[in-house]
Amino acid sequence: MAGAGFSRRENQYFHSRARFYVEFPPGPLSIGKDYGITPVEIHLGRKVVLGLSATDSCRDRLASYFHWNDREGLRAAIAIVQRGKVDLEKIASWAHQEGALAAARHETFLAELQLARQRRRPRNTAPAGRGRSGES
């Protein structure tokens, strides 16, 4: 990390030109109670790095909402679903395995996701069967 211009403070790495820091939490990698996380290859130009899939990234953000009522985590999870391919069935199964509170908050996630999808749909401003001037 130092070779890329990052400086270390405990387990966090900072770069003067980055808004975010990089953190290496202690292992093993898990999302909630699920320790079976398999990283995916992410291609950045000619480089390949390992990271979380869109589904696992969504679950990670939902875990913060499920366990700590972090509304920003909920918003981030919804944004991830809207931007990538996310396995919502895997998320539902995982949420129910996390416990009753997580299962209940999963229902809130689905409702908020539905609202977000409705807000993103383009609205048809002209009534059906009419031209721009409103004439038939």
Q: Which residue has the tokens 């070779």?
A: 3
Q: Is 48 helix (H, G, I), strand (E, B) or coil?
A: strand
Query: What pLDDT score does 133 carry?
Result: 45
pLDDT (average), residues 82-102: 96
Who has greater pLDDT, 98 or 134?
98
Domain ranges of the chain: 1-30, 37-120
Q: Are strands 12-14 and 40-44 parallel, antiparallel or unpaired?
A: unpaired
Query: What pLDDT score does 126 carry?
Result: 54
Query: What pLDDT score does 100 carry?
Result: 96
pTM score over 0.85 = no
Query: What pLDDT score does 76 carry?
Result: 97
- SS3 per residue for 59-81: HHHHHHHHHHCCHHHHHHHHHHH
pLDDT (average), residues 55-74: 97
Instruction: Give residue 38's pLDDT band: very low, low, confident or very high (50, 70, 90).
Output: very high
Share of the chain above pLDDT 70, in %: 89
The answer, yes or no, to whether residue 85 has pLDDT greater than 70, is: yes
The answer, yes or no, to whether residue 130 has pLDDT greater than 60, is: no
